[in-house]
Amino acid sequence: MRATVLVRPKPEILDPQGDAVGSALGHLGFEVRDARVGKVIDLDVEAADEATAKAAVEQMCERLLANPLIESYEVEIVG
Amino acid sequence: MASPQPRIGVVTYPGSQDDRDALWALAALDAEAVFVWHAERELPDVDAVVLPGGFSYGDYLRCGAIAGFSPATAAVREFADARGLVLGICNGFQILCETGLLPGALLRNESLRFVCRDVSLIVERDDLPFTRRCTAGRRLVLPVKHGDGRYLPPPDLDPEQIVLRYVDNPNGSVGGIAGVCNEVGNVMGLMPHPEHAVDPLLGSDDGALLLASFVDAAREQVLATI
């Protein structure tokens, strides 16, 4: 089963990378109020059904894929 | 009787690069320093442990995140839980934060630039096994070299756990925090590199104050078991 994990810096965390991207977009003439940079992790997991896959991937996020102090995560099962 | 020589383990992860300097510096300060390979499930018979600087596992995912799951790191956790002395330098500090042995996290420098230069630090605590040869308020000059050194403390960090602060913050760390310890005081991490500053020929020997304090404390562990 394929899963996508989105990891984002928490809103209260300073994200200089996002700021740099936002300001570069501004230089290109785009009007960007805010930019934040996170990461995408695509996984192919062994699981009987969607709920089991989601629970397993959430465990992965808690233990390794995201650092709860600084990042939030979102799990999407794509089938 | 000659004072006993403490044995200090330096963990080498794939991508560690300051393990040799740490070994050399500890030996120069009269400790017997031994390498511990990251795949070892048990630590050898040591009185203290250093997690050195570098880029363990290529700093993939987050700095220190993957090293946090090395077999040797599990052994270090057990050692720390039994009140063993553990010092994490730079990447070692990042690993200790990722494993939860130290509070907080280390993020990309605010400038997005890798900083590599000497910095001045203020010693906040002089009663720790890592700082006993200093006096609180003393300034130390040590080199930093990191891209991810912006320390973010947890909201409930006890100010007593702050061991070192930068005089001029090189990376945007909250409160200028350069080094912290755990609640018990047997685990410490810092971004600057004391192991690169134990000989005046290298520009500063202030690092020897921290490392010699650590070696003294490790020696006391030996004396306690005789």
pLDDT digits (tens, 9 = 90+) for B174-214: 999 999 999 999 999 999 999 999 999 988 999 999 999 99
pLDDT digits (tens, 9 = 90+) for B51-99: 999 999 999 999 999 999 999 999 999 999 999 999 999 999 999 999 9
Domain positions in chain A are 2-78
Pick the CATH number of A2-78 from 3.30.390.50, 3.40.50.150, 3.30.1280.10, 3.10.20.90: 3.30.1280.10
Cα dihedral B104, B10, B24, B121 in deg (nearest 10): 10
Query: Quick check: B160 contacting A, CB < 8 Å?
Result: no
Annotation marks residue B195 as catalytic? yes
pLDDT at residue B223 in the model: 83
Give the whole-angstrom CA distance, residue B39 versus residue A67: 24
pLDDT at residue B2 in the model: 59
The percent of residues above 70 in pLDDT, for chain B, comes to 99
Q: Are A68 and A62 in contact (CB under 8 A)?
A: yes
Average per-residue pLDDT for chain B: 96
Rg over CA atoms, chain A:
16
Query: What are the residue ranges in chain A where pLDDT is below 50?
Result: none
Looking at the predicted structure, is the pLDDT value of residue B1 above 60?
no
pLDDT digits (tens, 9 = 90+) for B113-141: 999 999 999 999 999 999 999 999 999 99
pLDDT confidence bin for B31, thresholds 50/70/90: very high
H or E stretch at B34? strand B32-37
Q: Are A67 and A1 in contact (CB under 8 A)?
A: no
Q: Are B191 and B63 in contact (CB under 8 A)?
A: no
Instruction: Give the closest of B108, B154, B172 to A69, CB-based.
Output: B154
Interface contact flag, B172 A14, Cβ < 8 Å = yes
Looking at the predicted structure, is the pLDDT value of residue B153 above 70?
yes
Nearest Cα to Cα of residue A64 among B107, B68, B104 = B68
ipTM beyond cut 0.95: no
A 12-41: CB under 8 A from B = 13-14, 16-17, 20
Q: Are B83 and B43 in contact (CB under 8 A)?
A: no
Q: Six-digit token pair at B200?
A: 């005046």
